[in-house]
Amino acid sequence: MLDRLRNPWSDNRAELTLGAVSLLICASVIGMIVFVFIRAWPIFEHNGLSWLGPGGSLKTQLENMQATSVHPPASAYHLRAWPIIYGTIITTGVAVVLGIVIAVLSSIFIVELAPARLRRVAIPVIRLLASVPSVIYGLIAMLVLVPFVGNHLISSPQKTSVQNSVQLTGEGLLVVTVTLTVMITPIMIALICEALAAAPRSWREGAVALGLNPLRAMLAVTLRAIRPAIVAAAVLATARALGEAVMISMASGASFFTPNLSHGVPIFLYEPLRTLASTIIDFSEGIGAPALDSTLYAFAALLLLSAFVLSIGGYLIKLPLRKYQVRA
């Protein structure tokens, strides 16, 4: 009886309560997906899937949506969002590819090459970089990188050569991609370092015994063994890069321009752009207009879908790599 007083919870009741809480979480997540897609539905209804493609000026389309207030006509829902999808793909793609290379090199540095004292400094430093808020990255991008690119890298003839199609002010692809890379690399380093540390030492020692130098042994053996972790890191980093709204909104030039490769490489890097997430936050004040509301939710639905596809893709890529038994 004493036990009953001290432990009023029976196992069944406890399990049901805890299970109910877990159910609550699942329900919220499902609710989120449902809500976002329901609010995004009008855009799909009026445009089908072609709203993902190019056509017309995205700027005028969004302006039309903002101008309509309570009951917008069907023409207000016309949307062709390719410029920002292209912007998202470019920034995320370049940032993740650069990030993986830098992350792998830095992880090798931290785990293998750094002397112990330097390693003790490097680990907290990487953790710090990973937790700096995006607002601060945006502030620094705007205050340091943009003036540097605008005043020192972009030359006057370059500006003049494209002056009739776009304005180059320093804010644009280069600044955004560099900052995004710095933002996502620490996350990848953290995961890859853990995996490197957990990889079987005996494999590497075997390689060294066969005459490889330590660095080569690490590259040839351990790196291949931790491929699942690299994939997991890339997936996580891509998800973070896709969803980055604040920093890009601050440093990207906020223009619906599509950076044009035909302008030649240096100029292409200086051109302004917008991504899905930065457009959402830029236009978030206008969420009252019904057409714009659906558009923003459609962008959010696309982001949600890509995060989902990414994680499934990552899982599928890791499947055949399971044989290395390195936990990722």
**Footprint (CB under 8 A) of another protein, residues 131-170:** 131-136, 138-140, 142-144, 147, 150, 156, 159-160, 163-167, 169
Cβ proximity to another protein, 148 vs 320, nearer residue = 148
Residue 194 tokens read as 């853990």
Site for another protein in 22-41 (CB under 8 A): 22, 24-26, 28-33, 35-36, 39
Q: To the nearest whole angstrom, how small is the minimum distance from the Cβ of residue 193 to another protein?
A: 6
Alpha carbons 318 and 240: distance in angstroms, whole number:
19
Residue from 74, 97, 105, 316 touching another protein (CB under 8 A): that is 105
Q: To the nearest whole angstrom, how small is the minimum distance from the Cβ of residue 226 to another protein?
A: 13
Residue from 46, 286, 317, 324 touching another protein (CB under 8 A): that is 286
In residues, how long is the chain? 328
Q: To the nearest whole angstrom, how small is the minimum distance from the Cβ of residue 81 to another protein?
A: 16
Longest dimension (CA), the chain: 89
Q: CB–CB of 174/259 below 8 Å?
A: no
Q: To the nearest whole angstrom, how small is the minimum distance from the Cβ of residue 49 to another protein?
A: 20
Residue 295 tokens read as 């558009």
Nearest to 215 by CA among 127, 109, 311: 109
Cβ proximity to another protein, 32 vs 74, nearer residue = 32
Site string for another protein, 169-208 (x = CB under 8 A): x------------x--xxx-xxx-xx--x-----------
Residue 72 tokens read as 């917008």
Residue 113 in contact with another protein, rule: CB under 8 A: yes
Alpha carbons 316 and 313: distance in angstroms, whole number:
5
Site for another protein in 298-327 (CB under 8 A): 300, 303-304, 307-308, 310-311
CB atoms within 10 A of CB 23: 11
Q: CB–CB of 178/153 below 8 Å?
A: no
For the chain, helix, strand, coil in percent to 5 are 80, 0, 20
Q: To the nearest whole angstrom, how small is the minimum distance from the Cβ of residue 53 to another protein?
A: 21
